């Protein structure tokens, strides 16, 4: 089984979000970048397939040289090799096009991506990639088992979950549940040393033009101060929710 894990390189969840150049660019100043949390769950599940079922696991990112430390971290967690497609990820479609080429050339059976990146929250790339590659697609995937050529996946739906059967080639949009929080791995010294020697191939992009463009960012309007209610006068909260906020 050949697995490709898509890694998007995103600001750490605690990052302060600011913009520069007249609010057109994300301000990366002082921001720490990490593996997108949804991808980290996917990568960890891929490690299980590697260790228990002998899969090979490559990781890929579409982005500039600044994303290489994130790819090295994925190698330190245990991926076999990394690919970086050297282009700006200008929109979901451009990224999906690049990934489709990598998938086609690499002959991957299974592509594990995340439900969404926590930066632009597009939730676009995995589905587009699946469609462009003529692969099956399971989104919001919280469980994945492979037995020979049979794949069983569990998908989160509104109000519950659904078990589906499918086959390779397959793309999943994964999230927490693929593995648990406690299964996530912090790279150890040996992993980090080995990661330095593992191949990180830089590929030039294929032609693709963005279908959407970011014009400008805005911050939400600052919030007014909280209205505090005396714990001995809970009735007041009921009144306010009914008469002022009009939500009950």
Partner 1 sequence: MSVLVYTESEQGTFKKVALEVASYAKAVANQMGTTVTAVTINAEDTSILGTYGVDKVLKVSDSQLEKFNANAYASIIAQAAQKEGSQVVIVSSSSDSKYLAPLLAVDLNAGYASNVVEAPTSTAPFTVKRTAFTNKAFNMTTINTDVKLVALSKNAFGLVENSAAAAAEDFTPSIPEFGVNVQSVDKVTGKVTIADAEIVVSGGRGLKGPENWGMVEELADVLGAATACSKPVSDLGWRPHSEHVGQTGKPVAANLYIAIGISGAIQHLAGINASKVKVVINTDPEAPFFKAADYGIVGDAFEVVPKLIEKLKTFKAQQ
Ligand X SMILES: Nc1ncnc2c1ncn2[C@@H]1O[C@H](COP(=O)(O)O)[C@@H](O)[C@H]1O
Ligand Y SMILES: Cc1cc2nc3c(=O)[nH]c(=O)nc-3n(C[C@H](O)[C@H](O)[C@H](O)COP(=O)(O)OP(=O)(O)OC[C@H]3O[C@@H](n4cnc5c(N)ncnc54)[C@H](O)[C@@H]3O)c2cc1C
- Other beta carbons less than 10 A from residue 113's beta carbon: 31
- Residue 167 or 227 with smaller CB distance to ligand Y: 227
- Using CB under 8 A as the binding criterion, the count of chain residues that bind partner 1 stands at 81
Find the helix or strand (DSSP H, E) in which 72 lies: helix 68-77
In the complex, least distance from residue 25 CB atom to ligand Y, rounded to whole angstroms: 24
Instruction: Evaluate whether 86 touches 34 at the Cβ level (below 8 Å).
Output: no
Position 169 contacts ligand Y (CB under 6 A): no
Binder among 91, 102, 109, 179 for partner 1 (CB under 8 A): 91
Residue 110: strand pairing partners:
3, 170
d(CA 187, CA 192) in angstroms, rounded, equals 6
- Ramachandran class of 159: left when φ > 0, alpha when ψ lies in -120 to 50, beta otherwise: left
In the complex, least distance from residue 95 CB atom to partner 1, rounded to whole angstroms: 11
In the complex, least distance from residue 166 CB atom to ligand Y, rounded to whole angstroms: 28
Select from partner 1, ligand Y, ligand X, none the partner in contact with residue 94, using the beta carbon and a kind-dependent cut-off of 5 to 8 Å. none
Select from ligand Y, ligand X, partner 1, none the partner in contact with residue 63, using the beta carbon and a kind-dependent cut-off of 5 to 8 Å. ligand X
- Residue 13 or 209 with smaller CB distance to ligand Y: 13
Binder among 35, 39, 76, 179 for ligand X (CB under 6 A): 39
Both tokens of 161, joined, read 């979950």
d(CA 161, CA 227) in angstroms, rounded, equals 38
Binder among 21, 147, 148, 182 for partner 1 (CB under 8 A): 182
Position 217 contacts partner 1 (CB under 8 A): yes
The alpha carbon of residue 53 and the mean position of all alpha carbons in its chain are separated, in whole angstroms, by 24
Position 37 contacts ligand Y (CB under 6 A): yes
Position 124 contacts ligand X (CB under 6 A): yes
Residues 88-127 within binding reach of ligand Y (CB under 6 A):
none
Distances in Å between the alpha carbon of 57 and those of 26, 83, 137, 213? 31, 11, 19, 33
Residues 122-151 within binding reach of partner 1 (CB under 8 A):
122-128, 130-132, 136-140, 142
d(CA 120, CA 9) in angstroms, rounded, equals 11
In the complex, least distance from residue 203 CB atom to partner 1, rounded to whole angstroms: 22
Position 238 contacts partner 1 (CB under 8 A): yes
Contacts with 111 (C-beta within 8 Å, 6 or more apart), sequence order: 3, 4, 5, 6, 99, 103, 126, 129, 130, 133, 135, 169, 170, 171, 172
Position 120 contacts ligand X (CB under 6 A): yes
Q: Which residues bind ligand X (CB under 6 A)?
A: 6-8, 36, 38-39, 60-63, 89, 92, 95, 113-114, 116-117, 120-126
């Amino acid at each position: 089984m050949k697995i490709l894990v898509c890694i998007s390189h995103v600001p750490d969840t605690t990052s302060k979000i600011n913009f520069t150049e007249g609010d057109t660019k994300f301000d990366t100043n002082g921001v720490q970048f990490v593996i997108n949390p949804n991808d980290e769950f996917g990568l960890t599940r891929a490690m299980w397939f590697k260790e228990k079922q002998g899969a090979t696991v490559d990781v890929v990112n579409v982005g500039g040289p600044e994303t290489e430390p994130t790819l090295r971290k994925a190698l330190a967690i245990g991926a076999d090799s990394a690919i970086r497609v050297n282009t700006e990820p200008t929109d979901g479609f451009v990224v999906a096009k690049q990934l489709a080429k990598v998938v086609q050339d690499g002959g991957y059976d299974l592509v594990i991506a995340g439900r969404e990146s926590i930066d632009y929250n597009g939730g676009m790339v995995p589905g587009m990639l699946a469609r462009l590659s003529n692969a099956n697609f399971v989104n919001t995937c919280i469980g994945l088992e492979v037995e020979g050529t049979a794949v069983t996946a569990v998908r989160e739906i509104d109000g519950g979950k659904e078990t589906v059967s499918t086959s390779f080639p397959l793309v999943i949009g994964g999230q927490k549940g693929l593995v648990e929080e406690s299964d996530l791995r912090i790279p150890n010294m040996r992993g980090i040393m080995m990661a330095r020697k593992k191949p990180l191939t830089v590929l030039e992009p294929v032609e693709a033009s963005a279908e959407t463009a970011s014009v400008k960012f805005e911050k939400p309007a600052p919030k007014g101060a909280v209205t505090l209610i005396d714990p001995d006068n809970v009735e007041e909260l009921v009144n306010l929710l009914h008469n002022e906020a009009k939500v009950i």
